Amino acid sequence: MTDQSDNAIEFVHVDYAVKGNRALISDLNLAVRPHEVFMLLGRSGAGKTTILKLINRLLSPTTGEVQVEGRSTLQWDPIQLRRRIGYAVQEIGLFPHYTVEQNVALIPKAEHWEKKRIADRVEEILLLVGLPREQFASRYPHQLSGGQRQRVGLARALAAKPPILLMDEPFGALDPLTRVNLQQEFTLLQKRLGTTVVFVTHDVSEALQLGDRIAILEGGDTMGVFTPAEFLASSDPYIRAYRETYRPGSPNH
Amino acid sequence: MSFLEFTTSHWIEIRTLTLEHLRLVSWAMGLSLLVGIPVGVLLIRRPKLRAVVLGMNNVIQTIPSLALFGLLLPVAWLGARADRLAITALALYALLPIVRNTYLGLSEVDPTVLEVAQGMGLTRGQVLWHVELPLAAPVILGGVRLAAVITIGIATIAAAIGAGGLGEFIFRGLAMVDNNVILAGAVPAAVMALVADGLIGLLQQFLKRPRV
């Protein structure tokens, strides 16, 4: 087990099983490099969400080790670890009793940032996700559209400038047009911020469009890690079966 | 003598007993909230305790109030003063709706919201304070509302052990077979219950406002 790894996140022989059940993750080895967008592609139940939760220690590996910035997640203080890792999910989980501004400012506040710095950051990050502060800061989540809510979720995840961002099908519930918009903006934003992103999807075209590298997951293990070009060129029958579902130029299903 | 004449001639006493009543109820509710909400939170964190605690609570509710006052009488510190005893007994009655609704409200909070709150690095205390309690507040207040109405009613019985309050009029009226005296206790108690119900109801509405 390399302590001095240059990887942002590394899975070393990780098993994860809920007591008495079959393993959800078995002997998984993965390395996510700094500043890349790393896609986890697989069908439902392949263990994608479990992998994200192992990274921010909502779950702990049964055996093996998950390392974040070279340190086992078990050695991190879980609160400190999670504050270095933004978390955005499909259901978003915005706090319905808090305004957009309060939602976004929560972690900076918990980190005891100065008032001025929080206000500046909220303005900056809302602008980055395309929601001008004057117009949106004091709205409640139920006053927003699905796409706007997802933007707030992203802003909240990025507010405290985490070096790592976990995204669990964040655009899954959006209409195709909004989704394509957000995907394009996300790519620009990620390039600009240089955040390391681990992104879960079951959508092949989303994986190809957003990912620097794509891990194909099946039954809690990886069937290989590919760049989009490698994925498209692979002659592996399993990868080809995946590719069949994807028609270049077609809108997301 | 009409009821109106009776109230005008006895208004000082009515006011005194109403304030006394309010004092008993306020202390009892305060104690009950102080104990009940933390116990409700504990039940969410420790599911194994749930059956035992809610069961015990139910048992307390089944004890007739006059009997509960009597049962607590021999308890050393409590029995020394009638109002102490009355406040304790009333707080015990108020406990069930508060504990149960705190538990209920917390259990209805969307698990996704909780998981995201935890995943983004809030501590347990922060999750409780920023997310769980505010989202459960309308349901918790429903329990407080019920508890307040029950307590205001049962507090009239506190007069039987000499703790004062509007029950004084009711018991005196019963002994004197005088409806005016009974009403002088019953009407202010009923008004107090309605006002408490209305005010807490308003607060509940206010807290429910921004929701998905």
- The domain spans of chain A are 95-161
CATH number at residue B45: 1.10.3720.10
Q: Say whether B120 and A156 touch across the interface (CB within 8 A).
A: yes
End-to-end CA distance of chain A: 41
Q: Chain A contacts of B121, Cβ < 8 Å? A: 79-83, 85, 107, 110
Residues 6+ apart with CB under 8 A from A96: A140, A141, A142, B113, B135, B210, B211, B212
Residue of A nearest to B138 (CA): A97
Residue with tokens 């102490």: B84
Within 10 A of A3 (CB to CB), how many other CB atoms are there?
Answer: 8
> Which pLDDT score, from 0 to 100, does residue B121 have?
93
Range of the domain at B9: 3-208
Q: What CA–CA distance (Å, rounded) separates A31 from A13?
A: 11
Q: Is the pLDDT of residue B159 over 50?
A: yes
pLDDT under 70 in chain A at which residues?
1-5, 246-253
CA atoms within 13 A on the CB side of A131: 25
> Which pLDDT score, from 0 to 100, does residue A248 have?
58
Q: What CA–CA distance (Å, rounded) separates B52 from B42?
A: 12
Q: Is A100 on the interface with B (CB under 8 A)?
A: no
| Range list of H helices, chain A | 48-55, 78-83, 100-110, 115-128, 133-136, 146-158, 176-193, 204-210, 228-233, 237-244
> Which pLDDT score, from 0 to 100, does residue B74 have?
80
Mean pLDDT of B89-115: 93
Q: Is A110 on the interface with B (CB under 8 A)?
A: yes
Q: How far is CA A128 from CA A166, A192, A233, B109, B120, in A?
A: 18, 10, 35, 31, 20
Q: What CA–CA distance (Å, rounded) separates B47 from A149?
A: 33
How many structural domains is chain B composed of?
1
Report the residue from A58, A96, A110 with minimal CB separation from B212: A96
> Which pLDDT score, from 0 to 100, does residue B14 have?
92
User: Do strands A213-218 and A221-226 pair parallel, antiparallel, or not at all (unpaired)?
Assistant: antiparallel
Mean pLDDT of B48-53: 88
> Which pLDDT score, from 0 to 100, does residue A79 have?
94
Mean pLDDT of B123-127: 93
> Which pLDDT score, from 0 to 100, does residue A1 have?
45
Residue of B nearest to A168 (CA): B116
CB B200 within 8 A of CB B144: yes
CB A243 within 8 A of CB A231: yes
Q: Say whether A81 and B130 touch across the interface (CB within 8 A).
A: no
> Which pLDDT score, from 0 to 100, does residue B79 have?
73
> Which pLDDT score, from 0 to 100, does residue A5 have?
59
Q: Mapping DSSP to helix (H, G, I), strand (E, B) and coil, where does residue A41 land?
A: strand
Residue of A nearest to B209 (CA): A97
Q: How far is CA A159 from CA A88, A151, B156, in A?
A: 12, 12, 56
Within 10 A of A8 (CB to CB), how many other CB atoms are there?
Answer: 23
CB A8 within 8 A of CB A163: yes
Q: How far is CA B46 from CA A173, B40, B97, B134, B145, in A?
A: 34, 10, 19, 20, 26
Q: What CA–CA distance (Å, rounded) separates A233 from A164?
A: 30
Residues 6+ apart with CB under 8 A from A77: none
Tokens of B53: 């605690």
pLDDT band at B99 (very low <50, low <70, confident <90, very high): very high
Q: What CA–CA distance (Å, rounded) separates A77 from B91?
A: 41
Q: How far is CA B160 from CA A5, B87, B155, B167, B170, in A?
A: 77, 13, 10, 8, 10
Higher pLDDT, A91 or B17: B17
pLDDT digits over B56-68, tens only? 888 888 888 888 8
> Which pLDDT score, from 0 to 100, does residue A175 have?
85
For an interface test with B, the pick among A60, A87, A102, A139 (most B C-beta atoms closer than 10 Å) comes out as: A87
pLDDT digits over A143-200, tens only? 999 889 999 999 999 999 999 999 999 888 788 888 898 899 899 999 999 999 999 9
Q: Is A112 on the interface with B (CB under 8 A)?
A: no
